[in-house]
C-alpha cells in the first residue's frame, strides 16, 4: 500500500528495461512508482491514482505520448510532466513545450540528471502557489458566442447553456488547435483516450451539437467545418 506522505510518480514507458530501471531508482529515492506500458493504460492509471508527476515517453504503441500529454492537459494543467524521448530534433521539443510539457530529456540520459529533474519538478509543484498560465483562457469569444470555462457555460444563440465535461474538453481541444485540421482519430485519442475504430460517430455527434449551439445556420457552418476524408477544423475568425 502506498504511503500518503510519499510522492507518487507514474512512468508511461514501453521499453521494459528503462521503465524497470527508473522504477527501481525512484523507489530508492523514496517515491511510490507505477508503470504503464502504453498510452491507454497510462491514462487509466493517471485517472485512477492522480499521481504527483508523470514521466512520459513519446514513441508508445497505439496512442503516442504527445496525444497522452494533450489529453491530460485538457483536464489538468498543473501536474508536472517530464518527457523522456529518443526524439532529439528541436521540432519535437517544441511540440512537447507547445502541448504543455514541463521538462524534456532525450535518451540516452544521465540517471543523476534525471533524478535531479524529477526532484526539481516535484519541489516546484509543491511550493508554487501561483497557478500556471492556462493554455486556454477562462473566457473565450468567437463570433457572437462566449464560453466561460470556469462555469462550464456558453452564451450563444440558444441563450445560456450548461456544457458537459466532455463538451468542455472537446472545445478546449479545438481552441488549442484552431485553424488546424483535426482527424477523427486524433480527436478520439486526445479527447476520449480512445484508440478503437475511428469510424465511430462519437465525434460527429458532438460536432452536430456544437453547430446547433454556436452556428447561425448549422447547415452552413462557419466555425466548425468538415474536411472530407480528414475530420474537422475550428475557425474562430472565418473570413467574411
* Claim to verify: residue 12 and residue 123 sit in the same structural domain: yes
Q: Using the 8-state DSSP alphabet, how is residue 139 labeled?
A: E
**240 domain residue, yes or no:** no
Domain boundary among 94, 127, 160: 127
The pLDDT value recorded for residue 195 is: 65
**76 domain residue, yes or no:** yes
**CB-CB neighbours of 12 under 10 Å:** 30
Q: Given a cut of 70, is residue 191 above it in pLDDT?
A: yes
* Claim to verify: residue 164 and residue 188 sit in the same structural domain: yes
- Kindly state the percentage of the chain with pLDDT values over 90: 67
Torsion sign, CA atoms 101, 102, 106, 108: negative
The pLDDT value recorded for residue 197 is: 62
* Claim to verify: residue 66 and residue 147 sit in the same structural domain: no
- What's the whole-model pTM score? 0.69
**21-63: pLDDT as tens digits:** 999 999 999 999 999 999 999 999 999 999 999 999 999 998 9
**90-111: pLDDT as tens digits:** 888 888 888 889 999 999 999 9
Q: Given a cut of 80, is residue 123 above it in pLDDT?
A: yes
Q: What is the CATH number of the domain that holds 186?
A: 1.10.10.10
- Tell me which residue range forms the domain holding 69: 8-127
Amino acid at each position: 500500500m502506498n504511503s500518503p506522505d510519499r510522492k507518487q510518480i507514474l512512468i508511461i514507458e514501453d521499453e521494459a528495461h528503462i521503465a524497470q530501471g527508473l522504477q527501481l531508482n525512484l523507489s530508492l529515492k523514496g517515491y511510490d512508482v507505477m508503470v504503464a506500458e502504453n498510452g491507454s493504460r497510462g491514462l487509466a492509471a493517471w485517472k485512477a491514482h492522480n499521481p504527483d508527476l508523470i514521466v512520459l515517453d513519446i514513441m508508445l504503441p497505439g496512442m503516442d505520448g504527445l496525444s497522452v500529454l494533450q489529453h491530460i492537459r485538457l483536464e489538468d494543467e498543473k501536474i508536472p510532466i517530464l518527457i523522456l524521448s529518443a526524439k532529439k530534433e528541436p521540432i519535437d521539443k517544441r511540440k512537447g513545450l507547445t502541448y504543455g510539457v514541463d521538462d524534456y530529456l532525450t535518451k540516452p540520459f544521465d540517471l543523476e540528471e534525471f533524478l535531479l529533474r524529477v526532484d526539481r519538478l516535484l519541489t516546484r509543484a509543491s511550493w508554487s502557489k501561483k497557478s500556471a498560465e492556462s493554455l486556454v483562457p477562462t473566457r473565450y469569444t468567437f463570433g457572437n458566442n462566449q464560453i466561460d470555462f470556469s462555469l462550464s457555460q456558453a452564451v450563444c444563440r440558444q441563450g445560456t447553456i450548461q456544457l458537459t465535461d466532455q463538451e468542455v474538453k472537446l472545445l478546449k481541444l479545438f481552441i488549442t488547435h484552431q485553424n488546424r485540421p483535426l482527424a477523427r482519430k486524433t480527436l478520439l485519442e486526445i479527447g476520449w483516450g480512445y484508440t478503437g475504430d475511428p469510424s465511430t460517430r462519437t465525434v460527429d455527434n458532438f460536432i452536430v451539437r456544437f453547430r446547433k449551439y454556436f452556428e447561425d445556420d448549422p447547415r452552413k457552418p462557419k466555425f466548425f467545418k468538415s474536411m472530407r476524408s480528414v475530420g474537422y477544423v475550428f475557425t474562430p475568425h472565418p473570413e467574411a
